[in-house]
Amino acid sequence: MAHLLEGIEPDAYDRRYSDGELTRRIVPYFRGRGGAVAFVTSAVIIAATAGSAVPLLLAQTVDSALTNDDDSRLVLLITAILVAGITAWLLTLLQERVTGRLAGDVVLGLREQAFSSAMRQDMAFHDAHPTGVVVSRVTNDTQAFATLISLVLSLLGQVLMIAILLTALFVINVPLALVTALVAAVIVAVSLAFRRAARSASLRQQQALAEVNGYVQETLRGIAVARNHSHQESAQAGLDEVNHRWFRASVRLNRLFSGIFPLLVSLTGLGTVAVVLVGGHGVDAGSVSAGEWVLFLEALALFWSPLTSIASFWSQLQQGLAAGERVFALVDREPAVRQRDRVPVPRLRGDIALRDVHFGYDAERPVLDGVSLTIPAGRTVALVGHTGAGKSSVVRLIMRAYEFQRGSIEVDGLDVRSLDLDQYRRCLGVVTQTPFLFSGTVADNIARGRPGAGRDEVEAAARAVAGGDWLAQLAEGLDTPTDEGGRNLSTGQRQIVALARVFLQDAPVLILDEATASIDPLTEAQIQEGLEALSAHRTTIVVAHRLPTVRKADTIVVVDDGRIVEEGDHATLLAGGGAYGRLYDRYFRHQQPDDDPADGPFPGSPGLHGVSGSPGSSPNGASPDRSARDGKESVVDGHRV
């Protein structure tokens, strides 16, 4: 059946956990709930004892009736049977209710921890693993693992009842008890042998389900692209592929369980026949009383039920254990970005220095090769170069989105790897080409720049961009609702909201990763003034493809094939006739007025990679070095550079 699992592979950070490890990991989630745990434990023990007492009392009732005991003894025994049965039922009911609450609490804690782990992962992790697959671990797998708690407690109660009953059977009649125990041992051995294959098959099924979730989420997020390019059929074909992998994994799991359950039922049937034969001969020979024989026959139903239940619950049990492995693999995954210390970060001046930095998304594909760059505080630096040269990789290393392999990066003389990462990132104001807005309102999204900011501060930040004129274009101003991702707003409006968010953040270091590359010339003209105000007295790093932005930089840094090949201002670099001059000649020369070749194009015109009809141009005037997925730069083995 190996072919059924073809195409289903575990994620790179997956690992295997023993049952003991999973048990130890789940214990901390019960801290602070000692009373509920104690009640459940007591209820399980008492319910198991009361349940075991029923067949024992029934056997005595049969013997008492056959020996013509007085009626009062029979009434007492029948009453005891009723009391034991009601006690077992009531405590089992209460235990299941409290267990359900405990399982819910575990889901809350486990889901929070899994989500926290996903949030602290570096961008390399999120680039490599589809969002839907990670979401599946945080939602589906945490629920499946918590459900395991209810199953285990239910089975523990039945196993405890078996232990009590089996002890009583050995006391009453050793030969019959040996027959019963022998069959039980065979059933347990078969179940344990089945366990490993079931866990593996359950894990593969959940991995396949995560693939389906990831594909559906990605496809629906890109539904506009699929429709515009008539890709519905190919999208459906892609779903069929991942869906069939899930189907094949489910078929394999079903085959395993459809085979084990009939086998266990057959074994219990053989055990019943053996007890009937041995017990019947014992009754005929007088070595076994009728009550004892009834006890063993009655106990069989109680005895075999938990064992066969293990088979029927085995699917959920193994799915829960497999889900636990997937959840804890995410929780235990250490981000590739490692901090050596947690030095508190005061407000930065913004002096940034890269010294011989080497970086690659994998060892065989270097992206940056010995980059050294000094950015004085308060200066504006523009990074330019061809697609895939490594411009965005430089800023993402400064942002600590990825971990570099060699060299050092210092901010205000401090190694970035020694700083408190959360505090450091709050000192960086980042605006990307395709900003993301959360569900809520425009004001809510701006307020994310500085949690706790008042309404007046949010409004002031909004009016700092383009003089606030853009607010008049919104139906409800700052209270205009925003859909997921801000889809109900135009690209330019989303960009302005992102800029206002950074205004409110008031970070000492500003990073603009082509913040105006995807907006129209009119909108760009509106926000250029705001960008100048925002970058004043701040260290500003711009990944630029538009000449107006490049020319205003204090220093232009030309990046080519992972190296810095030139630095200087616009006029100096242009006069030098080097790499920058070649970029200029290729993309801008034909746009310049003949009498003033040094002047840049009109504001908002396409820049270094956006000239219509020129190499590297795109139909909408935006930089072409963008992936269709999220508007970032070109992709190398799944990573944007």
**Exposure b/e, 332-367, CB count within 10 A at least 16 = b:** ebebebebeeeeebeebebbbbbeebebbbeeeebb
Could you tell me if 488 and 515 lie in one domain? no
For residue 420, count other CB atoms closer than 10 A to its CB.
Answer: 14
Cα–Cα distance, 594 to 519 (Å, whole number): 28
Confidence at residue 416, expressed as pLDDT on a 0 to 100 scale:
94
The residues that bridge with 383 in the sheet, in sequence order, are 543, 557
Helix (H) or strand (E) run with residue 440 in it: strand 440-441
Confidence at residue 389, expressed as pLDDT on a 0 to 100 scale:
87
357 SS3 class: strand
Confidence at residue 557, expressed as pLDDT on a 0 to 100 scale:
94
Could you tell me if 61 and 108 lie in one domain? yes
Confidence at residue 55, expressed as pLDDT on a 0 to 100 scale:
79
* Residue-number span of the structural domain to which 270 is assigned: 2-332
pLDDT in tens, 262-276: 777 777 777 777 777
Confidence at residue 411, expressed as pLDDT on a 0 to 100 scale:
95
Cα–Cα distance, 109 to 102 (Å, whole number): 11
Could you tell me if 383 and 448 lie in one domain? no
Tokens at residue 123, please?
């961008």
Give the β-pairing of 509-513 and 539-543. Answer: parallel
Tokens at residue 158, please?
């039945």
List, in sequence order, the alpha helices (H) in 121-231: 123-128, 131-136, 142-172, 174-221, 223-228
Query: How many structural domains compose the chain?
Result: 3
Which residues, at least 6 apart from 88, have a Cβ–Cβ distance to it below 8 Å?
A: 47, 48, 50, 51, 54
Could you tell me if 119 and 12 lie in one domain? yes
Could you tell me if 451 and 527 lie in one domain? no
Could you tell me if 441 and 482 lie in one domain? yes
Global confidence as pTM: 0.64
Cα–Cα distance, 221 to 483 (Å, whole number): 12
Sign of the CA dihedral running 74, 77, 83, 89:
negative
**Tally of residues, the chain:** 641
Could you tell me if 311 and 372 lie in one domain? no
Could you tell me if 37 and 103 lie in one domain? yes
Cα–Cα distance, 277 to 288 (Å, whole number): 12
Helix (H) or strand (E) run with residue 564 in it: strand 563-568
The reply to whether 347 falls in a domain is no
Could you tell me if 601 and 631 lie in one domain? yes
Q: What is the CATH number of the domain that holds 252?
A: 1.20.1560.10
Cα–Cα distance, 353 to 351 (Å, whole number): 7
CA angle 426–428–431, rounded 5-degree value: 120
Residues of the chain with pLDDT under 50: 1-8, 229, 590-641
Confidence at residue 375, expressed as pLDDT on a 0 to 100 scale:
95
For residue 156, count other CB atoms closer than 10 A to its CB.
Answer: 16
Please report where in the chains the tokens 């319910």 appear, as a residue: 47
The reply to whether 340 falls in a domain is no
Could you tell me if 601 and 618 lie in one domain? yes
Q: What is the CATH number of the domain that holds 394?
A: 3.40.50.300
Cα–Cα distance, 439 to 482 (Å, whole number): 5
Give the β-pairing of 414-415 and 406-411. Answer: antiparallel
Nearest to 545 by CA among 516, 502, 570: 516
